Structure 1
Amino acid sequence: MTALLNEIWAILGVALLLLTTLEVSLTSYYERADKTERQSAAKAAANSGVYANPELAEEYFKELTDAKARVWASYTQSQQTDYAGKFINVHEGTRRTWHSEAIKDDKRTRLKIFFFGGSTLWGLGSRDDFTIPSLVAKMLAENGISADVTNYAVIGDVTTQSLIRLVLELRKRNVPDLVVFYGGSVEAFSACYEGEPGVPLGNSNLEKISPKKEAKARISIRLENFALIRLLTGKTQLAGCSKKLDVLSDGALDVYLGNVRFIEAISRSLSFRTLFYLEPQLSDKTHRTKYEEDQLLKSEKRLPGKNDLYSLMRSKLVKREDESLEQNVFHDLRTIFADVANPIYMDGGHYGEDGNDRISRKIAADILALHAPPK
């Protein structure tokens, strides 16, 4: 009996050793394969026609891989990690924004503008001086307005996180003249991905960037994290939200409007102005290039229903009568790329610098209407 047990334990030990070796080998293989896939996607984006200099764009995307990392932050759950590079620079969680060296006037007379949003506003796909906040700062300077513009956007931020970031700045008595909130699609993305509205995008994944002591307490073994499971089942396909569009769009819109009410109330109390922009999405672009069409299909395949959910949110927002909000609070940019034939999108949700330029012209014009310089 003892000999039989010893033989069984020996067989189990060998099997465990083989499985461990296979798991380690597969993990290494998938890491290399995923890295190759990311590099291939970056190369395709650089050569999509969105960028005038593909070689420079490839260099940018190599830098972006490290620069877009996030770290844990109190209240907001995440912030951008500090980074110093050729194209991307982040200091204390805030991405560098263009400022005119030619304007030497008293800083107290400058128009202080805060921008809040997610990855499109942060500038995923663009250099520091060509993000939307940077371009708006340039355009205002060209029109005689000295603007101190700060880009508080963080990749993946929903409006609740942006609202909290604003409150944290106000708590430090850092009060702006104008606050611009840009986004909307992340609200839909989060609701679709998480299966419920009102939570941060990738809520469960944010635990991975928490401090080590907290992370250790949250470690859990999930089958889908094993390379062997991936070998047997293939890449995990997200279920999406196609069957719950109506419910999720209502919930996401309720959360978004609730945040807007808070922001408007705070702005009235502290006497600063606000602008809210609903960003465009790739499906709004009528004349899509072959590359953009492929990216749209990939986007829908990765998370079915996400694009439809955002479209439904915007349609309901236009139709919904909300007496607690002033008229013309929202600026829907869904048509801004509608008739553009040139390449705009570098992936399924982010545009290049030409797209930023077109959007910035609209925002700058709206700001000039509110703060026209004296003649």
Structure 2
Amino acid sequence: MGADDALLRTSVARMRVIRLTALLNEIWVILGVALLLLTILEVSLTSYYERADKRERQSAAKAAANSGVYANADLAEEYFKELTDAKHRTWAPYTQTREADYKGKFINVNDGTRRTWDSEAINDDRSTGLKIFFFGGSTLWGLGSRDDFTIPSLVAKMLAENGIGAKVTNYAVIGDVTTQSLIRFVIELRKRNVPDLVVFYSGSVEAFSACYEGEPGVPLGNSNLEKRPPKKEEKARISIRLENFALIRLLTGKTQLAGCSKKLDVLSDGALDVYLGNVRFIEAISRSLSFKTLFYLEPQLSDKTHRTKYEEDQLLKSEKRLPGKNDLYSLMRSKLVKREDQSLEKNVIHDLRTIFSDVASPIYMDGGHYGEDGNERISRKIAADILALYAPVK
């Protein structure tokens, strides 16, 4: 009996092992099939969302081209196709980013600097020309405008028409906050490339960054930067972020930014402190190196009283994408008016909030950028301020 019991137990144990092995094999097959199906679904969804996002961008570009902002809608559509190819930034030391070089019909960037209309063709006497630097973000770079119709280009043309030959350089970079612009300027000064006049045209990105990042004074997109791992871990490190998976997007929908509506007072104070600190620093350098300065706070769509239907829709979309950003910038500028800063002379900073107030015609091609008519109106103001500083060359 004992031998028979032992044999029976061995047989039962063997059957259990066989069943368990079969079960594990079935589980592995099921997991493999599930993983294969998930992979196929992920690849399919990724492809679908890429096409959908591309169609959305193309639709937005077509809407902007036909918004009434541009006189020639077909030419504008051609421009926006080129803008999609040209609008790329690369890494740069100190400033984190710079514009990638590009050569096209409407947009040309060389050594990180966008091409600007040159007055030398009109005035060959280079000894009488002014050297003017422009620094700012996407609106000054000219997002929505051809090379010869950006704000720096139009200012150069207007000065030439008034007898001043100026060599104007557009150092603007899409997404730049004032601290990045300041660093770019310092890098030029370090090369002993000193201008007669420097123009800083900014403000909106300062508010945008503070709202998006949840803290003032950092570059836009700073929270998305990953810390570089130690060299010994660098090769083996694999970074997988759930939000980058198409399946997560399917389950949760497009990521909606929380915005900054609940922290407007604190963030606007901080953004203004950073901005004024940079202005004071630039003013101090200007006194040392004997160049002149002009500072402009750019307008925003909500400042425009007579908005078109298209502009109204763009304003609503802008607020939905990042709730509170427009209010933060408005509050930041209002506090600037009330704040008494003893270290700055009166009227050093020019707020352009009213420049489009009474304009009924279309100006904005999206929630933050204007077309070439808007550039021209702003350029007339800046050119007039420059002419007030310098007598026309005879």
The interval holding the TM-score normalised by the smaller chain is: over 0.9
How far apart, CA to CA, are the structure 2 residues paired with 1:38 and 1:105? 43
How far apart, CA to CA, are the structure 2 residues paired with 1:215 and 1:261? 41
Q: TM-score scaled to structure 2, two decimals? A: 0.91
The verdict on how the C-alpha distance between 1:206 and 1:93 changes in structure 2, with shifts beyond 3 A counting, is farther
- The 5-angstrom pairing of residues 168-187 of structure 1 reads 168-187=187-206
Which of these residues, 330, 338, 343, is aligned with residue 362 of structure 2? 343
- Give the 3-state SS of the residue equivalent to 1:75 in structure 2: coil
Q: CA deviation digits over 1:281-305, x for unaligned, max 9?
A: 0000000000000000000000000
Contact 2:90–2:100 (8 Å) recurs in 1 = yes
- Give the 3-state SS of the residue equivalent to 1:72 in structure 2: strand
Structure 2 residue 256 is matched with structure 1 residue 256: no
Aligned counterpart, 2:33: 14
- Give the 3-state SS of the residue equivalent to 1:247 in structure 2: helix
- The 5-angstrom pairing of residues 210-249 of structure 1 reads 220-249=239-268
Displacement after TM superposition at 1:182 (Å): 0.1
Aligned counterpart, 1:211: none
Q: CA deviation digits over 1:240-297, x for unaligned, max 9?
A: 0000000000011111111111111111110001000000000000000000000000
Tell me the amino acid that sits aligned with residue 39 of structure 1. Q
Structure 2 residue 349 is matched with structure 1 residue 322: no
Contact 1:207–1:215 (8 Å) recurs in 2 = no
How far apart, CA to CA, are the structure 1 residues paired with 2:339 and 2:164? 36
Aligned counterpart, 2:98: 79
The verdict on how the C-alpha distance between 1:217 and 1:330 changes in structure 2, with shifts beyond 3 A counting, is farther
Structure 2 residue 388 is matched with structure 1 residue 369: yes
RMSD: 1.7
Tell me the amino acid that sits aligned with residue 132 of structure 2. I
Contact 1:78–1:206 (8 Å) recurs in 2 = no
Which of these residues, 289, 297, 316, is aligned with residue 270 of structure 1? 289
Structure 2 residue 45 is matched with structure 1 residue 26: yes
Tell me the amino acid that sits aligned with residue 170 of structure 1. L
Tell me the amino acid that sits aligned with residue 299 of structure 2. P
Contact 1:135–1:360 (8 Å) recurs in 2 = yes
Contact 1:207–1:218 (8 Å) recurs in 2 = no
Displacement after TM superposition at 1:104 (Å): 4.2
Aligned length: 371
Tell me the amino acid that sits aligned with residue 252 of structure 2. T
How far apart, CA to CA, are the structure 2 residues paired with 1:226 and 1:281? 35
- The 5-angstrom pairing of residues 127-206 of structure 1 reads 127-205=146-224
Which of these residues, 36, 42, 64, is aligned with residue 83 of structure 2? 64
Contact 1:345–1:355 (8 Å) recurs in 2 = yes
- Which structure would you say has the larger Rg? 2
Displacement after TM superposition at 1:4 (Å): 1.4
| Structure 2 alignment gaps of length 5 or more | 1-19, 228-232
Aligned counterpart, 1:283: 302
Contact 2:120–2:126 (8 Å) recurs in 1 = no
Tell me the amino acid that sits aligned with residue 281 of structure 1. Q
Displacement after TM superposition at 1:204 (Å): 3.5
Tell me the amino acid that sits aligned with residue 295 of structure 1. Q
Displacement after TM superposition at 1:374 (Å): 4.9
Displacement after TM superposition at 1:102 (Å): 3.2
Displacement after TM superposition at 1:176 (Å): 0.2
How far apart, CA to CA, are the structure 2 residues paired with 1:163 and 1:300? 28
How far apart, CA to CA, are the structure 1 residues paired with 2:251 and 2:80? 32
How far apart, CA to CA, are the structure 2 residues paired with 1:218 and 1:140? 55
Displacement after TM superposition at 1:126 (Å): 0.2
Contact 2:164–2:393 (8 Å) recurs in 1 = no
Contact 2:119–2:167 (8 Å) recurs in 1 = no
How far apart, CA to CA, are the structure 1 residues paired with 2:145 and 2:389? 27
- Give the 3-state SS of the residue equivalent to 1:6 in structure 2: helix
Displacement after TM superposition at 1:220 (Å): 2.9
How far apart, CA to CA, are the structure 1 residues paired with 2:348 and 2:367? 27
The verdict on how the C-alpha distance between 1:104 and 1:372 changes in structure 2, with shifts beyond 3 A counting, is closer
Contact 2:257–2:322 (8 Å) recurs in 1 = yes
How far apart, CA to CA, are the structure 2 residues paired with 1:324 and 1:185? 23
Contact 2:128–2:393 (8 Å) recurs in 1 = no
Percent sequence identity over matched residues? 90
| Structure 1 alignment gaps of length 5 or more | 209-213
Tell me the amino acid that sits aligned with residue 122 of structure 1. W
Contact 1:282–1:348 (8 Å) recurs in 2 = yes
Tell me the amino acid that sits aligned with residue 51 of structure 2. R
Contact 2:210–2:267 (8 Å) recurs in 1 = yes
How far apart, CA to CA, are the structure 1 residues paired with 2:189 and 2:204? 26
Contact 1:120–1:350 (8 Å) recurs in 2 = yes
The verdict on how the C-alpha distance between 1:148 and 1:216 changes in structure 2, with shifts beyond 3 A counting, is farther
- Between 1:298-307 and 1:7-16, the stretch displaced more is 7-16
| Ranges of 4+ aligned residues in structure 1 off by more than 6 Å | 214-218
